[in-house]
Structure 1
Amino acid sequence: MIDFVKITIKSGNGGNGIVSFTRESNNPMGGPSGGKGGDGGDVIFISSTTIKTLSKFKYKRHFFAEDGGDGGTTKKKGSKGKDITILVPVGTVIDYIDDEGKHIAHDLDSPNKQIVLIRGGKGGLGNSKFVSATNQEPLLAESGELGKQFYIKMELKLLADVGIIGMPNAGKSSLLNVISSAKSKTANYPFTTLEPKLGTINNYLEEFIVVDIPGLIKDAHKGVGLGHDFLKHIQRTKMLIHLVDGSENNISERIISINNEMEKFDINLKKTPQVLVINKIDLEEVSILKQEIINEIEESNINHKPIFISAITSEGINNLVDLITEEINRIRKIESTKIKKIEGTNIIVPQMKMHYQSVIQENDSSYRIIHPRAIRIAKASNLDDWATLIQFQARLERMGVNNSLREKGIKQGDTVLINDRDFQWD
């Protein structure tokens, strides 16, 4: 099962605004008519019950939304870029570092949960938007904002009501098969199960999801034996079935070892309700030693009274399923008294107001304008035209860029840089 992937996502660039004037025979003084560029497409994630693994991301790792269209004449706005919608399994955690260096994580832990992870770049303004009382013929336009690109990690943590844990060869797959609809591979050797398996228990019109976690070994919390890959899948379970092979020696040590590995991986797993189940009661050696096993567990201060079953003959299975049903219903009742999570909630990641410098000093006599909007206006406007350049200078004054240059100590004759252009400061 593919449950961890890395992909690249990018929102669409905003379309460029344009400079245009209406010149028609019936309206020779129609004025500025350059349209605004369309916004770039968003990157959207939706949790879907129809997707079970992250395997599709093994072959496609780049997901880019569409760019917005450029503005047109007669104030026509450019088309919005198409969003890209990425479906992921319920239980997917999205993890990335944003453009401010902050670690961000989103948990799609319920069906139809939607996250707009990256907004597309805004479309640039056309010259019709620069009209003012003092400038009736603006010659400036604005290029679209660039979309953002992130390299993200996605990890799937299965959502199940019950997790079956234990050492290799304890009979977990056999138990899953007998209590649920699952058809897991079984064999009498360790590590038959190499990935988590899901099954469904139906009991008295109640339905529960069960996950069989591959056998855990010493130092699983450190990743030994793919421990990390397995342990993460029990973090969301409501209860655990701790299955032990009754024919093995040192049963209490095995129980304590597994519990220690879980707690070292995630201390909160210590709070998860647990049912201790001793398997293979059908074997004479286990049946004869039943009371000794109970005594050993009590003497080891393990606070769980064991239930004895046989996953082969189904002895004790009905009692176990009834106990699971009772415990899950108890937990669900407690959860229902708390604030419920609303499924299908749309989560829009807010765009933070960016704080940035307007100017940086490159050397004693050279200053570069880095104000994002000033850069976009310079990019979309014809600064080779003297009248346009005058309007651009006036716009820089209004935006406070010139004040920033003065605060930096710019002198007459110094060079001002923006994009690939340079000007002398007068």
Structure 2
Amino acid sequence: MHFLDQAKIFIRSGAGGPGAVSFRREKFVEFGGPDGGNGGKGGDIIFEAVAGLNTLIDFRYTQHFRAPRGQSGAGRNMTGAGGDDLTIKVPVGTQILADDEGRSLLADLTEVGQRITFLRGGDGGRGNASYKTSTNRAPRQHGTGWPAEEMYVWLRLKLLADVGLVGLPNAGKSTFINAVTNANAKVGAYAFTTTRPQLGVVSTRGREFVVADIPGLIEGAAEGAGIGDRFLGHIERCRVLLHLVDANDEDVATSYRIVRDELESYGAGLIDKPVVVALNKVDTIDEELIEALSGELSEASGQPVLALSAAGGIGIEPVLDALVRHLGDEDRAEAEGVEEQDWSPL
């Protein structure tokens, strides 16, 4: 299945049905009069976040969504049937953006089952029975129904993950996610083997968390170099970043700074997220060089550096433990931020 994280669609709610113009004409009924019913309400456009979806590929083939309109009213004061609401199911983490220059955020669906009525259907028009007064006993006017609402919107998917993998192309991110999760990311001896985000679930020490792998960043990604920074949106919601640096790079400190500069250029608070730094592919160099490169990388990053070989299974557990510590610290911080209150039924 192809991965699609952006889509432009047209949505339109249902218009209200027209009211009826009708008069009673019944045998042996002494009094007649207007009995035209109101029109039915048009259907709403509703967005719902559902489990089991992780791409917007369905919106590549269907871009127009129209809710049905309300039915017309009828005689005997019968109200027209309302149009059915149209529910558009999207993956959890989908944002709804306006189709304007700034792509302003209109809604953000971050939980399974979250629903939002985005466009409301038009109300039905009044039938002539509702216009009857003491001085206007045979009205012939009626309402035509309120019009529908319509607009173009952009859907943008931001994957929900606990840990985001960042690094230059060929830093070993796909190998790492394959080693610690059930993902089957493509691995190759060339740059940009990852062309779309990958998700995997890690199980370690009785704890589970989700890891997201995105295509590698190169210098100038914020200006569109390489695959650009388009996929960085998928790690905006991550709680901690794992920054992998290839031990075979000419200058590991420069490699680290290139990625950090691109994160800072992108914004959205990525540069402020907690980060675990790991020197990957250490199985290809000797112990002395590992120590020297780790020192250079630690000086550039300002924090301890973990030695790792995802392909050789070296140092994986310490890296996972470091990630769990960051995730656990945030859980405790959230728990401490909730003040304990006495129970109340209100």
TM range (shorter): over 0.9
For residues 351-386 of structure 1, give each alpha carbon's deviation from its aligned partner in whole angstroms, at most 9, with x where no partner exists.
Answer: xxxxxxxxxxxxxxxxxxxxxxxxxxxxxxxxxxxx
Shift of residue 26 of structure 1? 2.8
Would the alpha carbon gap of residues 289 and 318 (structure 1) be closer, same or farther in structure 2, given more than 3 Å must change? Answer: same
* CA distance, structure 1, for counterparts of residue 17 and residue 129 of structure 2: 15
For residues 74-106 of structure 1, give each alpha carbon's deviation from its aligned partner in whole angstroms, at most 9, with x where no partner exists.
Answer: 1100000111111000011111259xx995521
1:311 corresponds in structure 2 to: 310
Contact conserved, 1:22 with 1:28, CA < 8 A, in 2? no
1:329 corresponds in structure 2 to: 328
Contact conserved, 1:130 with 1:138, CA < 8 A, in 2? yes
1:11 corresponds in structure 2 to: 13
Contact conserved, 1:97 with 1:104, CA < 8 A, in 2? no
Normalised TM-score (structure 2): 0.93
Shift of residue 281 of structure 1? 1.3
2:177 corresponds in structure 1 to: 176
* CA distance, structure 1, for counterparts of residue 41 and residue 9 of structure 2: 24
**Unaligned segments of structure 2, at least 5 residues:** 339-346
* CA distance, structure 1, for counterparts of residue 219 and residue 298 of structure 2: 23
2:293 corresponds in structure 1 to: 293
Contact conserved, 1:34 with 1:72, CA < 8 A, in 2? yes
1:15-414 matches, within 5 Å, as 15-96=17-98, 103=104, 105-285=106-286, 287-300=287-300, 302-338=301-337
Report the residue type matching 1:270 in the other structure.
Answer: I
Contact conserved, 1:244 with 1:278, CA < 8 A, in 2? yes
Report the residue type matching 1:215 in the other structure.
Answer: G
Shift of residue 132 of structure 1? 2.3
Contact conserved, 2:294 with 2:307, CA < 8 A, in 1? no
Matched position secondary structure for 1:29? coil
For residues 183-213 of structure 1, give each alpha carbon's deviation from its aligned partner in whole angstroms, at most 9, with x where no partner exists.
Answer: 2111221111111111000112211000111
* CA distance, structure 2, for counterparts of residue 337 and residue 124 of structure 1: 54
Normalised TM-score (structure 1): 0.76
**Unaligned segments of structure 1, at least 5 residues:** 340-426
The 10-residue stretch of structure 1 (261-270 or 12-21) with the greater mean CA deviation from structure 2? 261-270
* CA distance, structure 2, for counterparts of residue 104 and residue 258 of structure 1: 27
Matched position secondary structure for 2:228? helix
Would the alpha carbon gap of residues 188 and 97 (structure 1) be closer, same or farther in structure 2, given more than 3 Å must change? Answer: closer
Would the alpha carbon gap of residues 308 and 46 (structure 1) be closer, same or farther in structure 2, given more than 3 Å must change? Answer: same
Matched position secondary structure for 1:282? helix
Q: Quick one: percent identity of the two aligned structures?
A: 38
* CA distance, structure 2, for counterparts of residue 186 and residue 68 of structure 1: 54
Report the residue type matching 1:293 in the other structure.
Answer: L
* CA distance, structure 2, for counterparts of residue 52 and residue 298 of structure 1: 36
Report which of the two structures shows the higher radius of gyration computed on alpha carbons. 1
Shift of residue 67 of structure 1? 0.8
Shift of residue 298 of structure 1? 4.2
Matched position secondary structure for 2:311? coil
Shift of residue 148 of structure 1? 1.1
Contact conserved, 1:8 with 1:150, CA < 8 A, in 2? yes
* CA distance, structure 1, for counterparts of residue 119 and residue 275 of structure 2: 41
The root-mean-square deviation of aligned C-alpha atoms, in Å, is 1.9
The 10-residue stretch of structure 1 (24-33 or 78-87) with the greater mean CA deviation from structure 2? 24-33
Report the residue type matching 2:129 in the other structure.
Answer: S
* CA distance, structure 2, for counterparts of residue 326 and residue 22 of structure 1: 77
For residues 272-304 of structure 1, give each alpha carbon's deviation from its aligned partner in whole angstroms, at most 9, with x where no partner exists.
Answer: 10000100111134x33122213323443x222
Contact conserved, 2:217 with 2:229, CA < 8 A, in 1? no
The 10-residue stretch of structure 1 (290-299 or 310-319) with the greater mean CA deviation from structure 2? 290-299
2:342 corresponds in structure 1 to: none
Matched position secondary structure for 1:240? strand
* CA distance, structure 2, for counterparts of residue 231 and residue 279 of structure 1: 21
- Count of aligned pairs: 336
Contact conserved, 1:45 with 1:115, CA < 8 A, in 2? yes
Report the residue type matching 1:305 in the other structure.
Answer: P
* CA distance, structure 2, for counterparts of residue 108 and residue 267 of structure 1: 18
Matched position secondary structure for 1:40? coil
* CA distance, structure 2, for counterparts of residue 56 and residue 102 of structure 1: 21
Contact conserved, 2:49 with 2:91, CA < 8 A, in 1? yes
* CA distance, structure 1, for counterparts of residue 303 and residue 15 of structure 2: 59
Contact conserved, 1:221 with 1:231, CA < 8 A, in 2? no
Matched position secondary structure for 1:27? coil
